[in-house]
Structure 1
Amino acid sequence: MIWPRRSYWRSAQYFAKRALRLSATPHAIAAGVAAGVFASFTPFVGFHFMIAAAIAWIIRGNLVASAIGTFVGNPLTFPLVWGTTLEIGKLILHGWYPAGMGPQDIGHLLWHLEFAELWEPFLKPMAVGSLPLGLAAALLCYVLTRWAAVAFREQRKKHLAERARNRAGNHTNIGAIVS
């Protein structure tokens, strides 16, 4: 269920190509992907698409690209992202962490649907920690995606111009043969 048929690398390549082929400006594509990447760093699982779409709309990003950007958050990356955002959030909040509450208690609180008790020890530090980490990842992805979108469009323009020259050359040769 979790492992794709081909591989995660192939899936990542598919999503990257899908984003680059969108009919939007390079800024809109890059801003949308960055919004999705930022949303993936928040601890609000289940709301990543909505958060990404709202951010993309605010910064004039592409909504489809924002959905594609949320695929940064996946079963392979979530443990690393959540652990890092929790630790950064605790550091930002001056090391504040309730005594006697550890990661092993998350399962118990989730099982009994005690979400109010999850806010202070886990969700608040993760939300705070997700801001700098998510912003850094989003900026990096914006720069890389914008560069890739511009390069992809230039390469595509060259390819289409070459095909047009080849077609024009073939029509000229056919006309000479018929005469």
Structure 2
Amino acid sequence: MLFRRRKPVTISERIRALLWPRKGFWRGPRYVALRVLRLSSTPHSIAVGVAAGAASSFTPFFGLHIVIAVAFAFLFSGNLVAAAITTALANPVTIPMILTASYELGVAILGVEAAHAATSADVLHMVEHLDFSALWGPVFKPMLVGSLPLAGAAALVFYAAAYQATRLFQRRRRSRARDTGYSS
């Protein structure tokens, strides 16, 4: 074989790489951030796309995050690619925290009493029996209401951070291109 290893990877090496990657945990997120910063668009357009992606990640509409992000980015003249990439904020590590925060905030906003709030066993039972109409009041409604302020706050924070980072990155890139005599 042309691309086969001389020494096969052992099971223990695979498990170690799964638990602690050889290149570190920050390689993937750093790569994604650089992909967004390298987009050829204005800092405002990229920041709007990032804000749309971040806001859609805080909604409970799984499977529709990219559609929602691209729609908002399109409506507000943002970068569609940046919006789609930023939806990766909702991943298996962050989703439980996002859902818990949006549910708790929704319960606080709506003033749902503890007697009417659903327990995890109740939710599991309703999901197992596909009783989604019964889930609307105690689970989905508070989650949706709580996700709106979180999505708005995430959009504001990520817009500001992305705008500043993109502006600085593009300024440094132009400066380096000017110093070396290349044009971008």
**TM-score in terms of structure 2 length:** 0.82
- Asked if 2 retains the 8 angstrom alpha-carbon contact of 1:40 and 1:70, the reply is yes
Question: Counterpart in 1 of 2:61?
Answer: 44
Question: 1:5 offset after TM fit, Å?
Answer: 7.6
1:52-74 CA-to-partner distances (Å, cap 9, x unmatched) read 11111111111111111111111
1:97-153 CA-to-partner distances (Å, cap 9, x unmatched) read 663731222222222222222221111111110111111111000000000000000
Closer, same or farther: CA 100–121 of 1 in aligned 2, 3 Å: closer
Return the alpha-carbon distance in structure 1 between the equivalents of residues 85 and 19 of structure 2: 18
1:1-179 alignment runs, 5 A limit? 6-96=23-113, 99=116, 101-164=118-181
Please, what is the CA RMSD of the aligned residues? 2.2
Quick one: which amino acid aligns to residue 42 of structure 1? Answer: T
Q: Mark the structure with the bigger radius of gyration.
A: 1
Secondary structure at 1:108 match in 2: helix
Return the alpha-carbon distance in structure 1 between the equivalents of residues 94 and 31 of structure 2: 18
Return the alpha-carbon distance in structure 2 between the equivalents of residues 40 and 101 of structure 1: 24
Q: How many residues align?
A: 165
**TM-score in terms of structure 1 length:** 0.84
Quick one: which amino acid aligns to residue 83 of structure 2? Answer: S
Closer, same or farther: CA 66–98 of 1 in aligned 2, 3 Å: farther
Return the alpha-carbon distance in structure 1 between the equivalents of residues 69 and 63 of structure 2: 11
Unmatched 5+ stretches in structure 1? 166-179
Percent of aligned pairs sharing the same letter: 45
Question: Counterpart in 1 of 2:6?
Answer: none
Question: 1:154 offset after TM fit, Å?
Answer: 0.6
Secondary structure at 2:26 match in 1: helix
Question: Counterpart in 1 of 2:5?
Answer: none
Secondary structure at 1:91 match in 2: helix
1:24-49 CA-to-partner distances (Å, cap 9, x unmatched) read 11111100110010001011111111
More helix by share: 1
Quick one: which amino acid aligns to residue 163 of structure 1? Answer: T
